[in-house]
Structure 1
Amino acid sequence: MSLFTPLKLGDVTIQNRIAMSALTRNRSTETVPNDIMLKYYLQRARGGAGLIVTEGTLITRQGTEWPAAPGIWDKSQVAGWKKITDAVHEAGSKMYCQVWHLGRVSHPKAPEQIAAGVPVYAPSAISARGGKFRFLEGHPGYVTPTELPDPTVIIAQFKQAAVNAKEAGFDGVELHGANGYIVHQFLDSNSNKRTDQWGGSPENRARFALETLKALIEVFGHNVSIKLSPSGGYNDMGMPLQETIDTFGYLLREADKLGLSYVTLVRYSAGQDPEYEGVKRATNFDVVATLSPFLTKTHLFVNSGVTPAEAEELVSRGTAAGVFFGFNIIVHPDLGRRIKEGKPLDNVPDVHHLYGAEGVDPAIGYVDYKEAVY
């Protein structure tokens, strides 16, 4: 099977083309990676994932909807991640840290945002619709952010996060450019109304992503990647089709010159297409067919709803270098082995404990999925 051929990504080689997508699970201990997270990632490394990408990992204190999301800004977090990367490497997999800044979808009254002592910054002072901060009184939604005076400040935070990730033993970093977070907010003309060099034209709106990638490359060389969701409407994103193609096409064409290890394109998903005021937000089009031609030198990974059979077809035809799995790898820690040995994918997701629950054992719905009998 083509899925089980090695692939060189930057300076490292992964054992197969099966990758674990970044998946928010909300299990850290006050932003510090812990032993239950180690078990979670190790299960999937032993289960045959060639590449593992962490859940979104915060580069600085932010008022996220996910209060138990991990960070990578201090030494205790670095030490926690180092235990995990060591275990994953010993199991034969490689591991990237997905570096994450939320931009406008933080909340100013969240404890971590208050502790940070800074406003909720975004490209422009435009609120996203939606949001639900369940741990705050009244369960408020998103609020209007403060326009970021100098975007290079956040770029410097991304670079420091990469420095920390390298100390933690990661093989590379993946820039979270999807799902309506800060990189995506700069790209989208509805969330970015700036009139300086960081807004306006597709070239200017892509500047933040490209300059951040260059900063990460200064730390990790070619072991840098980016995840993009051009069709996604999550967190109130979405532009008209031609503007989407112009913007992401320019970004991909320029990113292709940087020598990245890979680019992940997230396909359209109904689950990432929320409805605001009776209107669907996403731009539904064939992301891979439309945008992959802009990449001529960089490995492409495909994400969102890919079945094992389709994954094999994508790789064998050369459409993609590899495939990221999400829900399937959550509920099947031995996904790689199951695919290789033809075992059924028969575990049922525990949706009630996907993100954990207060007062509930964090192992439930996290590390208690059964492996197949071999």
Structure 2
Amino acid sequence: MPAVAATQALFTPLKVGDITVPNRTQIAAMTRNRSIKTVPSDLMAEYYAQRARGGAGLIVTEGILITRQGTEWEAAPGIWNAEQVAGWKKVTDAIHANGSFVYAQLWHLGRVSHPDAPQQKLAGVPVYAPSAISARGGKFRFLPSHPGYVTPTALEDPTFIIEQFKQAAINAKEAGFDGVELHGANGYLISQFLDSNSNLRTDKWGGSVENRARFPLEVLKALVSVFGNNVAIKLSPAGGYNDMGMPLEETLETFRYLLTETSKLPLAYVTLMRYSPYLDAEYDGKKRAIVHDILESYRSYITNPNTKVYLNAGLQGDEAAKLIEEGKIDGGAFATTALLHPDFAKRFKYGKPLTNVPNYPLMQIGAGEDPEKWDVGFTDYPEAEYDASEI
């Protein structure tokens, strides 16, 4: 049976970098917190394999730490050593064996690490950021008294982190990934360089829009040197999460400049996150996000015809298909929908409802849960029932 009319536009092939994905659904990166001492687990391989079997066109991994950092997600995975690369190879092999493709999302936390976290202590380095400005909020549940963020150490020269991103890309290629996505969203290091509230530098890495965009662009160039056309970036111009957000005019100027410059690079795609109330933090009685129309504000600045555009945050299948038909996006990126429904793409295609109920307590596990039970809220969501006449 062909795709139902409401979502049919999602189910045509799409050239993404050097690969052609079978449809225009993307699983967006979403922290899952199931690695074993930063090494991807066999359970993670099954999670991603389930979603490949469920028809996802392109899978983007959860954020992968490029170096030891004190993340509030204690079981987040890394990609800085051989054991981690071997773990990721199991994941990429499982995805490819089930007919999908996968990008690694490369992640540096910047100021939203904690110096008392075990991994940060093992790293033996401070918590680095563009400037010595603490983010408001945060909650390190596995540390005594559940502390929030602390004032980071300002980077004297950030070029060594560019090299860490490059090495992470080399490792990702060894692990069998089809490409890499730079995590430029949600208040992590790339966002911190872009935002004038977290970046008060007066050298070539801060101040003007051009200088604040320099670090993200140099990281992208380093990734391109490894992966060629198979590099992407995810951005969240509306801000909010992790204490991000500039005045509207400055936000528009910054992200329009960045996208103009990224259009000069051979990027496979850009994922734009639109405003999400879920990610809009409140500080001092005020919401932090800068609410504006993300597609209207930035789509026209992505001018490289080979760079595809995915939209993310609260997207529905029929809405994504309509935006594709209108030429406003090339694909839809789905997070919670894909987390709860391993076959979300097939459900979209054949008109099956999204019926799985979220297991909120165990969806993104905290400290103390038994790893033997990590499948709960992770790989135990059922697929819909299909009969042969439907597919």
Asked if these proteins are the same fold (TM beyond 0.5), I'd say yes
Q: State the partner residue of 2:132.
A: 125
Q: Does 1:2 align with 2:9?
A: yes
Q: State the partner residue of 1:366.
A: 378
The answer for unaligned runs of 5 or more in structure 1 is: none
Q: State the partner residue of 1:260.
A: 267
The aligned amino acid for 1:6 is: P
The answer for unaligned runs of 5 or more in structure 2 is: 1-7, 387-391
* CA distance in 1 between partners of 2:9 and 2:138 (Å): 41
Q: State the partner residue of 1:181.
A: 188
Is 2:310–2:329's contact at 8 Å kept on the other side of the alignment?
yes
69, 77, 85: which one aligns with 2:84? 77
Q: Does 1:356 align with 2:356?
A: no
Q: Does 1:329 align with 2:338?
A: yes
Give how far 1:296 is off: 1.4
2:278 is paired with a residue of what secondary structure? helix
* CA distance in 2 between partners of 1:114 and 1:87 (Å): 33
Q: Pick 1 or 2: higher relative contact order, CA cutoff 8 A, min separation 6.
A: 2
Structural RMSD (CA): 0.7
* CA distance in 2 between partners of 1:157 and 1:245 (Å): 29
Percent identity over paired residues: 64
* CA distance in 1 between partners of 2:312 and 2:38 (Å): 26
203, 209, 228: which one aligns with 1:202? 209
Is 2:46–2:94's contact at 8 Å kept on the other side of the alignment?
no
Q: State the partner residue of 1:139.
A: 146
274, 281, 284: which one aligns with 1:277? 284
Give how far 1:356 is off: 1.9
The aligned amino acid for 2:380 is: D
Number of residue equivalences: 374
- Pairwise mapping of residues 41-190 of structure 1 onto structure 2 (< 5 A)? 41-190=48-197
Q: State the partner residue of 1:246.
A: 253
Q: Does 1:215 align with 2:227?
A: no
The aligned amino acid for 2:157 is: D
The aligned amino acid for 1:81 is: W
1:56 is paired with a residue of what secondary structure? strand
Is 1:232–1:269's contact at 8 Å kept on the other side of the alignment?
no
Q: State the partner residue of 1:312.
A: 321
Q: Deviations over 1:211-269 (max 9, x none)?
A: 00000000000100000000021000000000000000000000011010000000001
TM-score normalized with structure 2 length: 0.95
2:377 is paired with a residue of what secondary structure? coil
46, 50, 65: which one aligns with 1:39? 46
The aligned amino acid for 1:306 is: L
Give how far 1:90 is off: 1.2
Give how far 1:153 is off: 0.6
Q: State the partner residue of 1:24.
A: 31
Give how far 1:192 is off: 0.1
Is 1:3–1:311's contact at 8 Å kept on the other side of the alignment?
yes
Give how far 1:280 is off: 0.7
2:62 is paired with a residue of what secondary structure? coil
1:155 is paired with a residue of what secondary structure? helix
Is 2:47–2:379's contact at 8 Å kept on the other side of the alignment?
yes
Give how far 1:359 is off: 2.8
2:102 is paired with a residue of what secondary structure? strand
* CA distance in 2 between partners of 1:365 and 1:279 (Å): 33
Q: Deviations over 1:271-298 (max 9, x none)?
A: 1111001011110000111111101122
The aligned amino acid for 2:355 is: D
Q: State the partner residue of 2:348.
A: 339
* CA distance in 1 between partners of 2:59 and 2:360 (Å): 22
1:227 is paired with a residue of what secondary structure? strand
TM-score normalized with structure 1 length: 0.99
Is 1:52–1:94's contact at 8 Å kept on the other side of the alignment?
yes
* CA distance in 1 between partners of 2:385 and 2:369 (Å): 32
* CA distance in 1 between partners of 2:32 and 2:312 (Å): 18
Give how far 1:354 is off: 1.2
